[in-house]
Amino acid sequence: MKRAINPFDSTLLKVLFEIAIFFGISISGYYLRFYSNFIVVKYGIPSLSPYILLFVVETLLWLFIFQEMKLYRKHFFISLLDEWYSAFIALTLGTLIIFAFTFFYRTFTFSRILIIQNLFLVFIGIIIERSFLYKLSEKLYRKGYGSEHTVIIGGKLDELLERRVSHLKRLGYIVDEIIVDIEGRDLAKYNAIFWNIEELPFSLLKKMVEENKIKNSAKINLLGNFFAEFSSDFESFNIGGLPVLSTKRKKLNGLNVLFKRFFDILFSFIAIVLLLIPWTIIIIIVKITSNGPILYLQERITKGEKIFKIIKFRTMKVDAEDSTGPKWAEKNDNRKTKFGGFLRKTSLDETPQFINVFLGHMSIVGPRPERPVFVEKFMDEIPGYNLRHQVKTGITGWAQINGWRGNTSIKERTLFDLFYINNWSILFDIKIILRTVFELFFQKEAY
C-alpha cells in the first residue's frame, strides 16, 4: 500500500551519489594538491595512475564502513547531524586504514597531505549530498510518495498524538486511523503498525499476529512512555540461555560533573565575549522602545530544587502580571513590548543566561528551569517531574530541540528531559548545541 516511490531515500541512489563523491572529489583533490600551488610541491608532480588505484580502494573501503555503520538506513532512523557525525567517523576510520596501508607499501610514496586533504573535502561533499537528499525525501514523504500506510493502536487523539502523527508524515508514514478498541479488527492491510503497550498488552499483539490479523511482514513499532521514563539505553544479553533486556543508566555524577562544569565555563565565557556588541545594541533598543528596566530577573528552580534568579532581557511590559498573576507567554500575547516580540522569536532575550551559566546557576544544556509556582504544580501532576532536578537546568535542552518548547505539553517535555539525564555525555551536549543553532532559534513555538 504505497503511493509511488520516494527515490531520494533510496539506498541505491545514496550509494551511487557517494561513489561519485568519494572518487570524484579524490581525483579533484589530486589536482588541487599538485597543480594549485597552495602548498609547494618539493619533489615534482607524481603520476596519477597509482593514485587512481588508491582512490578506488579508498572508495570501496568507505562504502563498506558506511554500510557497517548503518549509514544507508532510511533517513528517519537517524537525524541529519547524527548522519554527519557518523559519516565523519566512518571517513576518518577509512583514512586511518589507508594511512596504515601507505606506511607499509613502499613501492610508491603517497602524499599524506593529499590523503588528509581529501578526508575533509569528501566530508564536505557528504554534508551537501546528505542534506540535499534528506530535505528532498522529506518533501516527498509529506506528499505521500513512498509512504507506508500506518495504524496507531491504543492511542487517544490528543496534543501529543497529533504532534507525533504530523512527525510521522514527514518520516514516511501515512496514519490512516487511530484505534482505541481493537476488538474485532483486522489489521492485515497495514504495512506498519504503532502499538501502545501501555494501553493494550503485548500478549494481544502476539495473538493477532498468530491469527494472521497482522501480516508477518508488517513493521511493528512498540510505543510506551516508560521507554523515556526509565532510559532509552537498553542492553540485551543472555542469563543461562534466557534472553534479558535490561536498562543501563548513565547518571551525571563524579568526574562527569567536573567535565560538564569545565565545558560550561569555557563555552559561556566565549559566548559572553562574542555577545558584548549585540548586547549593547539590544540594551539601547530596549531602552528606547519601552519604559522600565533593561534586564528581567525572575526566580527559577535548578539542581536540588534550589532557587536562583534567571537573567533575561525584558520583553514584557513592567506590569505584565499585575492583573493575570504568573502565567506563560502566549501566541500574540499583548503583554509583550514592541521589541520584545522579536527578542522572543529569535531567543535573543535568553542570551544573558550565559552569565547564569558562568556563575554556576545553570548549565549550557539541561532541562529548562521553571518558576517555583509551576514546579510545585507539575510535581503534583506529573510522575517523575522532580527527577529533572538531579542536574542543573540549561539554556537549551533535548526537549526544546525536539519541539517541546513554549506552551507545549509538560508531560512530554519531562520525558525528553529524563532521556537526556539518563543518556548524558559531552558529545550529546555538543549535538544538542549544534541542533539548537539550526532549529531552536526560529521554531514556531518561540513566543
Phi, psi of 142 (to 5 degrees): -60, -30
Give the residues across from 363 on adjacent strands.
394
User: Which residues, including other chains, have CB under 8 Å from residue 375's CB and lie 6 or more apart?
Assistant: 301, 305, 385
Angle in degrees, 0-180, between the axes of helices 255-289 and 426-439, rounded to the nearest 10: 20
Where in the chain do CATH 3.40.50 domains reside?
148-224
Longest dimension (CA), the chain: 84
Q: Which residue has the cell 501566541?
A: 331
Q: What is the pLDDT of residues 78-101, one digit of tens each?
A: 778 888 888 999 999 999 999 888
pLDDT reported for residue 447:
45
Phi, psi of 156 (to 5 degrees): -125, 130
Q: What is the pLDDT of residues 261-315, one digit of tens each?
A: 999 999 999 999 999 999 999 999 998 988 888 998 999 999 999 999 999 999 8
Residues of the chain below pLDDT 70: 1-4, 75-77, 155-164, 224-243, 245-251, 319-334, 406-407, 439-447
CATH placement of domain 148-224: 3.40.50
pTM above 0.75, yes or no: no
pLDDT reported for residue 208:
87
Q: Under DSSP, is residue 205 helix (H, G, I), strand (E, B) or coil?
A: helix
User: Which residues, including other chains, have CB under 8 Å from residue 90's CB and lie 6 or more apart?
Assistant: 62, 65, 66, 69, 71
Query: Which residue type does 308 have?
Result: F
pLDDT reported for residue 188:
84
- Spatial distance between the Cα atoms of 397 and 302, rounded to a whole number of angstroms: 14
pLDDT reported for residue 320:
59
